[in-house]
Chains A and B, each alone.
Chain A
């Protein structure tokens, strides 16, 4: 049953339509073994629909899709047996304790009781929930629930782990704790597919990513490649007093200017030099900031919108 191609996941013209709504409008992608692959895009870009098709819980309505060398529409159960899934919203079993959640979930995969027992202990350790192993799920904090959901998805030693918005809604400390756990998995050779609308998460976790917007892939590459390709090295952010922002005044000072409601973004190779030029023109911004380009800028360039509205 082994994988016939190099890719763990391969899609050609993959599409999903709900009634009159096209959630995914024909995308091509390849996920290679051992890499961390990301879908970056705002809410409603089609990331979750794509993930659900890869997870074999939502049939595609067009195009080709191969997961672990098999066809989801024919081999769904066999593929799901080798996947780990962390859905956008935790769907832990609230009628069971932490340990029972892992145990029962392992049994769904047909694993032996002895194996599941040992594995559950190991994963509780991994999720840093050892002191809460007999607690009811409802009493856990948001970060703990998320870690348990990730631990649960590892019960069958998956070859491919799907994470849909893994850190949305968590506080900064909980996010870093979670990223640390995901790094360890990556080091152990688990292939990760992550969706996110946080550019910092995409930069932290992903070796390679695609930018999605309105059901389409608009760019593909490593974070550094994407930035080099679609943005300048530096960005100068200028804030002006209310009502005095005027993009005409900075014309010619940068390769490209983006106008946001509260500030101007000047794309340039040398931010300090551009700032000096701004001052020479007699402009007096309330504040200014020179920074490196990020994926947020790539997204703005490609779609004309910010990631988080």
Chain B
């Protein structure tokens, strides 16, 4: 009788478990993670885009093409925020899925990593779907957009990791998640350079923006999509995202172990 299980296999088991749950609610997530960004692209990229003259601020690109590689990252982060809050609380509290898994040879650490892997998988699939539609709408300028997919996924998990860590500490659902969505996710989406260059913001706000993973992801995604990147800047963004992912994962693993210890 094996007493332990290899981590890749354990992660696959957790992902499978999430998939079983997800299959029942896929319709909701197609709406929120694919259709919603596409509609934003139509409304803002094309609709509002008619009012915007290509200029220095948009890198001399039509607004639609300026927006697309950033919107894929912003939307990935939003989906990640959702997948890291209610489903995690639910798996601990109502459905007790995690307790069920942790009663098998799968360890608490592996459950945490599995949850993160699930978010990564979810994000990359919906981001890919979004990019295909964006491509059909003529919103992508080069094949570099494929790299935007990688950047979007990385940014999303970097943000998801600490959120999962936090969700694992919540006992009763109160106002915590509303506050995360409205005071962190929403302003981050609005002010991290997705819709307009950060330079439009007052100078004192900008350092705050530099602390958001979304800004680093957006810069990186535009750089690879427009092939305007320079090694040093790109490395800086990458380092920020990886560091956030590492710290977040560490906290998530710690909190899962605490919560699942009986």
Contacts and interface: CB of A to CB of B under 8 A. Distances in A.
A306 interface: no
B103 to A, nearest CB: 22
Nearest to B171: A139
Contacts of B172: 136, 138-139
A136 B174 CA distance: 11
B152 to A, nearest CB: 37
Interface string A134-166: 001011000000000000000000000000000
Q: Binding site of A, secondary structure by majority: helix, strand, loop or mixed?
A: helix
Interface string B166-201: 000000100000000000000000000000000000
Contacts, number: 3
State which size class the interface on A falls in: under 10
Contacts of A138: 172
Nearest to B93: A138
A124 B146 CA distance: 63
Nearest to B173: A138
Nearest to A95: B174
Q: Binding site of B, secondary structure by majority: helix, strand, loop or mixed?
A: loop
Nearest to A136: B172
A16 B172 CA distance: 40
A139 B172 CA distance: 9
A142 B172 CA distance: 17
Nearest to B174: A136
Contacts of A139: 172
Interface in A49-87: none
Contacts of A136: 172
A138 B172 CA distance: 8
Interface in B148-174: 172
A190 B172 CA distance: 37
A303 to B, nearest CB: 38
Nearest to A139: B172
A95 to B, nearest CB: 10
B174 to A, nearest CB: 9
Interface in A120-137: 136
A136 B173 CA distance: 11
B129 to A, nearest CB: 37
A93 to B, nearest CB: 14
A237 to B, nearest CB: 39
A293 to B, nearest CB: 44
A67 B160 CA distance: 58
A153 B26 CA distance: 42
A137 to B, nearest CB: 10
B48 to A, nearest CB: 40
A210 B29 CA distance: 53
A139 B174 CA distance: 13
Interface in B85-106: none
Nearest to A138: B172
A206 B152 CA distance: 67
B251 to A, nearest CB: 25
A98 to B, nearest CB: 14
A68 to B, nearest CB: 40
A138 B94 CA distance: 12
A97 to B, nearest CB: 12
B169 to A, nearest CB: 16
A103 B52 CA distance: 57
Interface in A236-260: none
A138 B89 CA distance: 15
B37 to A, nearest CB: 33
B181 to A, nearest CB: 19
A92 to B, nearest CB: 14
A54 to B, nearest CB: 34
A138 B171 CA distance: 10
B138 to A, nearest CB: 49
B90 to A, nearest CB: 14
A136 B172 CA distance: 9
A177 to B, nearest CB: 25
A70 to B, nearest CB: 42
Interface in A147-201: none
B175 to A, nearest CB: 11
Interface of B: 172
Nearest 3 CB-CB pairings of A with B: A138-B172, A136-B172, A139-B172
Interface of A: 136, 138-139
3 contacts: A136-B172, A138-B172, A139-B172
